[in-house]
Structure 1
Amino acid sequence: MRSAEQSESVAAPALRGLLTERIARQLEQEIRAGTPAAGAKLPSERELAQRFGASRNVIREVLRRLEAQHMIDVQPGRGSFVNETPAPGAGAYDAVYRADRPTVRQLIEARIPVEVEIAGLAAQRATPAQIAAIEAAHQRILEAPDPAAKARADLGFHDAVAAASGNPVLRVMLSSIGEMMFEMMLRSNSDPSIGQPGVPHHPEILAAIAVHDVPLARERMREHLALGLRTYGADLDVSLDVMATRHLDRLLDGS
């Protein structure tokens, strides 16, 4: 584990989100594994800061994220406790999916039929307000300060397209794999080879939806999702959680 001084340097604005993401992932994995057990009290902010060599401000961000995911209950004056029951909603399926340790390739294979259909329906049905929401989501990607924030904004873009499809079932289906999509997006949004000019990305998908070109929207989404099959190399057949953790470590180490 890096020293506290190194972590404080890493926690500068450009990389602070990455450090928060890395610590949160570690605690999420431990909670899912049952250590600490449901109902148990987490170590104090000070103890967590010492363990991870991070500032208490970073630890507070981590705890806020875990609380938002309903993984812990933060009780002022008492501490943070692991929740007895999993979070409700589509996210509850995440543990079910992860039981078989899905790979990047398997996630892409699942996303293509779902999101190609979503893009086509969005091009057919999107209202001006929904198109504006997709545009705003794309702008948030451009303005994101670090790869972790960019990946979260990327997830928001795909959710905005799903909302524009007018099909709540498809939107919930997509949401149920959201955290795994985030892990893939973390890699995509910090890989220079994926950002090369001419590669079909969000602007092309947005443009097709904006002019209600259904076949083009479907084609652009398919090309966008299939990009990983051509660029991820050996990472394609590594489990998503392992791939994302390794990538976060490389980013934090500056390699």
Structure 2
Amino acid sequence: MPVGVKVRTLPMQVAARLVERIATGGPAPSELEISQEFGVSRIVARETLKILASLDIVDIAQGRRVAVRPPEEWDYLNPLLAEWLPEEQVVTLLRELHQVRLLLEPELAAMAAANMTDETLARLRQEMDRMTALTGEPDHYLEADHAFHMEICRAANNRILDRIMYSARWLGTASRRVTNAPRGSLHRATDAHARVLAALEARDPEAARAAMRDHLHGNIPILAEKEQRTKRASAAP
């Protein structure tokens, strides 16, 4: 599922092919096997394995065969995985990301409401105005959408939570492309964001928590339908 990452180098092209294969149950090839199968040099094969290792997909130890790591240990926040995994696995990741957002973002909104400054409110209103003006331009809308949520996150004044949310931005972009796609969804999202902003303007933590929770709950059916449709398509003969 494209999220803005482009495959450029030869090792990355080979790694992309191998990620899809390994993700569907294939073994991890050795440096020699990569070189022979793809017709590349041993240097390219070695760099390919380093890419896979950087994604926590394989373990490379001198004198031992390359081993596939358990899928639950893979670096799913790395944008390359969102680009290279089979689509049916990516949409499942989007559902899991949304579960994380439901756990974190209502509390972040409540924390932000308690810490809200006039400067942050001014930035939030600016992003709100951008979203209102961009309901006919989904790609630009999602940029303002992301910026709005990150302003709330930063207003919570918790650097660890800020980094967690920022690290998930690539999956967040992919998720927004799904939830922003249905007809009328951007207008509904704008109304939901306006309710969140109103609670933040009132500096009301409980109202901010509830408004953010309602906003995120509204996207659950869209993501579930996308996941089911993708799985049906992948299972079709």
TM-score, structure 1 as length reference: 0.55
* Residues 200/24 of structure 1: CA separation in 2 closer, same or farther (3 Å cut): closer
Give how far 1:229 is off.
1.4
Alignment-derived partner of residue 188 in structure 1:
179
Which region of structure 1 is more displaced relative to structure 2, 183-192 or 169-178?
Answer: 183-192
Query: Do structure 1's residue 109 and structure 2's residue 94 form an aligned pair?
Result: no
Alignment-derived partner of residue 249 in structure 1:
none
Query: Do structure 1's residue 141 and structure 2's residue 119 form an aligned pair?
Result: no
Structure-to-structure mapping, 1:150-165, within 5 angstroms: 150-165=141-156
**Cα distance between partner residues in 1 of 2:169 and 2:110:** 20
Alignment-derived partner of residue 15 in structure 1:
none
Alignment-derived partner of residue 178 in structure 1:
169
Asked if 2 retains the 8 angstrom alpha-carbon contact of 1:92 and 1:176, the reply is no
Unpaired stretches in structure 2, ≥5 consecutive residues: 16-49, 55-74
Give how far 1:34 is off.
1.8
* Residues 143/36 of structure 1: CA separation in 2 closer, same or farther (3 Å cut): farther
**Cα distance between partner residues in 2 of 1:120 and 1:179:** 24
Query: Do structure 1's residue 131 and structure 2's residue 115 form an aligned pair?
Result: no
**Cα distance between partner residues in 2 of 1:231 and 1:93:** 22
Unpaired stretches in structure 1, ≥5 consecutive residues: 1-20, 38-83, 243-255
Asked if 2 retains the 8 angstrom alpha-carbon contact of 1:125 and 1:165, the reply is yes
Asked if 2 retains the 8 angstrom alpha-carbon contact of 1:122 and 1:161, the reply is yes
Give how far 1:32 is off.
10
Alignment-derived partner of residue 94 in structure 1:
78
Matched position secondary structure for 2:99: helix
User: Which of 203, 209, 213 is equivalent to 1:222?
Assistant: 213
Give how far 1:236 is off.
3.7
Report the residue type matching 2:119 in the other structure. A
User: Which of 196, 201, 204 is equivalent to 2:192?
Assistant: 201
TM-score, structure 2 as length reference: 0.59
Give how far 1:22 is off.
6.0
Larger radius of gyration: 2
Structure-to-structure mapping, 1:17-36, within 5 angstroms: 24-25=4-5, 27-28=6-7, 34-35=12-13
Give how far 1:147 is off.
1.1
Alignment-derived partner of residue 121 in structure 1:
111
**Cα distance between partner residues in 1 of 2:200 and 2:96:** 27
Asked if 2 retains the 8 angstrom alpha-carbon contact of 1:112 and 1:225, the reply is yes
- Give deviations 1:221-254, integer Å, cap 9, x for gaps: 0111111113344214578xx9xxxxxxxxxxxx
**Cα distance between partner residues in 2 of 1:115 and 1:188:** 17
Q: Percent identity?
A: 20
